[in-house]
Amino acid sequence: MASSGDAATQWLDDDTRVDVYALFVLDAGVTHAMVEEVIAKNEDDEDYYLWLADSYDKLPEIDEEQRTVGTVPPVDASWQSPFIGKTIQEAAEFVQNAPKPLCKVFFAVLEKGRYEKDNKVTICKIVHGEVQAIPCTTEDVTNHLLGHDRDTWEESFRRWREEGVGL
């Protein structure tokens, strides 16, 4: 059996590809309904790729027989994000240190204002230890994370910075 250090690296491949992505709630104003909407809008053929970020002990287990899944709605009504008041950089550190299968490069952040105003979720990519973030239409979060736009991240990030064009 692999040591815990080996286990933490066994999922590394192109862009640390693991099809479970953390969805962080950093804003106390985000409601359970918003969280459930985002997760439901990103369901793909009954597969859930977004894991509602919580403690490491709540990460999904690896199942060699079937694909590891993220959070399946409904979200427990008593759930509260342990990341309220934290920064995107702190969220990045959390995913980079995750001991179980979780993408260590890409993650998402649900912000109340952006979601209510523009129906967007922030997609983040960790590049050389720094977080690059671009707003993404809610329904397209999973498509982007699963790789449809991974090859164009650099150009997308440039367009966001220079022209204000999100995903």
pLDDT band at 4 (very low <50, low <70, confident <90, very high): very low
- 48 touches 39 (CB < 8 A): yes
Q: Rounded to an integer, what distance in angstroms lies between the CA atom of residue 162 and that of residue 79? A: 38
Task: Kindly list the strands in the beta sheet with 106-110, ordered across the sheet, starting from the edge strand earlier in the chain.
Answer: 50-52, 21-25, 106-110, 120-127, 130-137
pLDDT at 43: 81
Domain boundaries, the chain: 4-163
Distance CA 22, CA 157 (A): 20
| Mean pLDDT lowest among 2-11, 45-54, 78-87, 105-114 | 2-11
pLDDT of residue 45 exceeding 70, the answer is: no
> First and final CA of the chain: distance in angstroms?
41
Q: Determine the pLDDT at residue 100.
A: 79
Q: In the predicted model, is pLDDT for residue 130 greater than 80?
A: yes
Low-confidence winner among 4-18, 67-81, 127-141 (lowest mean pLDDT)? 4-18
Confidence of residue 8 (pLDDT cuts 50, 70, 90): very low
**What's the mean pLDDT in 105-123?**
95
* 144 pLDDT tier (thresholds 50, 70, 90): confident
Instruction: Return the higher-pLDDT residue of 23 and 44.
Output: 23
pTM, 2 dp: 0.84
Q: Does the domain spanning 4-163 belong to CATH 3.40.50.800?
A: yes
CA 167 to CA 165: how far, in whole Å? Answer: 7
State both tokens at 71.
């959070």
Check whether 150 has a pLDDT greater than 60.
yes
